[in-house]
């Protein structure tokens, strides 16, 4: 897959998810097969970039090039300024978020709220593209609401502005994550523009990824929620798209190694206190399909020390039957 001058090893992307796709998780997903991964969403208000949270979101040390930074904002000048600052800090692709359905983002006239104002979308994209010498990409939904599916017009605006790739979540903002993804709408967008389009929404298995590519004609797929607790999904999808065969799931020993390495990276990145707390939600995702995990999860949320959390997780996994967790 090609975006501007950059070639990616495969067309399977990790979707940016605030509070999820931090540097440790991005590195893990890239190691397990994701072809590209953008930062968590960064506010376009660079006055806030001194906060610890934003500094961590801009920390890409150790990640493979090119670095992709996602920016969210509703003011063209601010978005352009944020794009310039991101490039100064190492970004080689700037992604503009117009797909986030979260209320706190939309209430600030950012994310998918922008889809209601096509003229403003055009001004933001024009400003961002003009501001930086690197590719600008865009993440959108199919529209603001089912009665206002304007994703096709937004896609054409983006291409005209010079945006070099597009990711489309197959739902409107009002639909959030309910109902079924609109792959027919994504197909219309793919047929209307010449830039690469990534299809996003409900892609939770290798066969589903292949089916979505067939239905939409997209250049690639973007996987979000399905990778939470299953980061090895990326290599399974890449293998299936390349061979047409299903890759064996990871062994219990490999899952154990992945989970414990993830914990170590979280502690190192955030420090002990925050690392332990961030790890809790990832452990919940890893263990969500374990029928015997409820008592353990109830216990682990009360642990505050990294060493104790790590030890309890290792002991729990050592007792797990070899066929569980990796499915």
Q: What is the DSSP string of 24-57?
A: HHHHHHHHTT-SEEPPPPEES-GGGTTSHHHHHH
Q: Decide if 50 is inside a domain.
A: yes
pLDDT in the model for residue 280: 97
Sheet with 42-43: list strands edge to edge: 36-37, 12-14, 220-223, 197-200, 165-172, 136-143, 93-98, 68-72, 42-43
pLDDT at residue 77 above 90?
yes
Please tell me whether residues 48 and 167 are part of one structural domain: yes
| Dihedral (Cα; 157, 12, 177, 124), 10-degree rounding | -30
User: What's the CATH number where 47 sits?
Assistant: 3.20.20.70
172 confidence band (pLDDT: 50, 70, 90) = confident
pLDDT in the model for residue 12: 98
- Average pLDDT on 150-167 reads 97
User: Which helix or strand (DSSP H or E) is residue 315 part of?
Assistant: helix 306-318
Q: Decide if 294 is inside a domain.
A: yes
CB-facing half-sphere around the CA of 183: CA atoms within 13 A = 16
Please tell me whether residues 283 and 302 are part of one structural domain: yes
Higher-pLDDT residue of 108, 175: 175
Question: 51 is written with which tokens?
Answer: 């906060």
pLDDT at residue 244 above 90?
yes
pLDDT in the model for residue 105: 46
Considering 243, 267, 293, which residue would you say is the last residue of a domain?
A: 243
Check: CB of residue 21 under 8 Å from CB of residue 40.
yes
- Average pLDDT on 193-222 reads 98
Considering 220, 243, 266, which residue would you say is the last residue of a domain?
A: 243
pLDDT at residue 157 above 60?
yes
CA distances from 131 to 9, 35, 60 (A): 28, 26, 22
**Residue 186 three-state SS:** helix
pLDDT in the model for residue 99: 74
Which residues fall within 8 angstroms of residue 250, CB to CB, at 6 or more apart? Answer: 232, 258, 326
Check: CB of residue 75 under 8 Å from CB of residue 103.
no
Please tell me whether residues 256 and 208 are part of one structural domain: no
pLDDT in the model for residue 308: 97
Structural domain span for residue 279: 252-318
Q: Decide if 325 is inside a domain.
A: no
Q: Decide if 324 is inside a domain.
A: no
Residue-wise pLDDT for 26-38, tens only, equals 999 999 999 999 9
pLDDT at residue 64 above 70?
yes
pLDDT at residue 326 above 60?
no
Q: Decide if 260 is inside a domain.
A: yes
Beta strands at 93-98 and 68-72: parallel, antiparallel or unpaired: parallel
Number of domains in the chain: 2
| Nearest CA-CA partner of 309 in 322, 319, 296 | 296
Stated pTM of the model: 0.92
Please tell me whether residues 237 and 272 are part of one structural domain: no
Question: 80 is written with which tokens?
Answer: 């352009």
Please tell me whether residues 182 and 270 are part of one structural domain: no
Check: CB of residue 62 under 8 Å from CB of residue 87.
no
**Residue 145 three-state SS:** strand
User: Which helix or strand (DSSP H or E) is residue 208 part of?
Assistant: helix 206-216
183 confidence band (pLDDT: 50, 70, 90) = very high
Question: 15 is written with which tokens?
Answer: 């979707």
| Nearest CA-CA partner of 32 in 247, 278, 198, 219 | 247
Residue-wise pLDDT for 86-118, tens only, equals 999 999 999 999 976 554 544 454 566 888 899
Q: Decide if 236 is inside a domain.
A: yes
Q: Among all residues, which ones are annotated catalytic?
A: 100
Provide φ and ψ at 193, rounded to 5°.
-125, 160
Please tell me whether residues 152 and 17 are part of one structural domain: yes
User: What's the CATH number where 267 sits?
Assistant: 1.10.1200
Check: CB of residue 12 under 8 Å from CB of residue 221.
yes
As a whole-number percent, the residues of the chain with pLDDT over 70 amount to: 92
pLDDT in the model for residue 232: 98
Question: 141 is written with which tokens?
Answer: 């939904």
Please tell me whether residues 91 and 198 are part of one structural domain: yes
Considering 243, 266, 293, which residue would you say is the last residue of a domain?
A: 243
pLDDT in the model for residue 144: 76
- Average pLDDT on 60-87 reads 96
Please tell me whether residues 265 and 222 are part of one structural domain: no
- The Cα–Cα gap between 279 and 275 comes to 6
Residue-wise pLDDT for 263-322, tens only, equals 999 999 999 999 999 999 999 999 998 878 889 988 999 999 999 999 999 999 998 765
Q: Decide if 326 is inside a domain.
A: no
Please tell me whether residues 162 and 270 are part of one structural domain: no
Q: Decide if 327 is inside a domain.
A: no
Radius of gyration of the CA atoms of the chain, in A? 20
325 confidence band (pLDDT: 50, 70, 90) = low
Residue-wise pLDDT for 110-156, tens only, equals 566 888 899 999 999 999 999 999 999 999 999 877 777 899 999 99
Please tell me whether residues 166 and 286 are part of one structural domain: no
Please tell me whether residues 40 and 64 are part of one structural domain: yes
Please tell me whether residues 268 and 239 are part of one structural domain: no
249 confidence band (pLDDT: 50, 70, 90) = very high
């Amino acid at each position: 897959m090609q975006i501007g001058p950059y070639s990616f090893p495969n067309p399977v992307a990790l979707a940016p998810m605030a509070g999820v796709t931090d540097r440790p998780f991005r590195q893990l997903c890239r190691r397990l097969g994701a072809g590209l991964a953008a930062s968590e969403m960064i506010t376009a208000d660079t006055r806030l970039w001194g906060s610890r949270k934003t500094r961590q979101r801009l920390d890409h040390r150790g990640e493979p090039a090119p670095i992709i930074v996602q920016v969210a904002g509703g003011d063209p000048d601010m978005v352009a300024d944020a794009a310039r600052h991101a490039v100064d800090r190492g970004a080689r692709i700037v992604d503009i978020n117009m797909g986030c359905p979260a209320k706190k983002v939309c209430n600030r006239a950012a994310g998918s709220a922008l889809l209601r104002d096509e003229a403003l979308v055009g001004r933001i994209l024009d400003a961002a593209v003009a501001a930086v010498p690197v590719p600008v990409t865009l993440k959108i939904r199919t529209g603001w609401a089912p009665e206002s599916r304007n994703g096709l017009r937004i896609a054409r605006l983006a291409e005209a502005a010079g945006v070099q790739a597009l990711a489309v979540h197959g739902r409107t903002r009002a639909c959030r994550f309910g109902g079924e993804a609109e792959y027919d709408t994504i197909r219309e967008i793919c047929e209307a523009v010449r830039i690469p389009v990534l299809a996003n929404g409900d892609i939770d298995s290798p066969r589903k990824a292949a089916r979505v590519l067939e239905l939409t004609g997209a250049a690639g797929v973007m996987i979000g929620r399905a990778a939470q607790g299953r980061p090895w999904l990326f290599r399974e999808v890449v293998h299936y798209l390349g061979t047409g065969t299903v890759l064996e799931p990871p062994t219990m020993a490999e899952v154990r190694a992945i989970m414990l390495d993830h914990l170590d990276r979280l502690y190192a990145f955030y420090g002990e206190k925050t690392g332990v707390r961030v790890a809790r939600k990832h452990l919940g995702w890893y263990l969500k399909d374990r029928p015997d995990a409820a008592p353990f999860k109830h216990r682990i949320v009360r642990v505050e020390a990294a060493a104790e959390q790590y030890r309890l997780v290792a002991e729990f996994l050592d007792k797990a039957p070899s066929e569980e967790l990796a499915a």
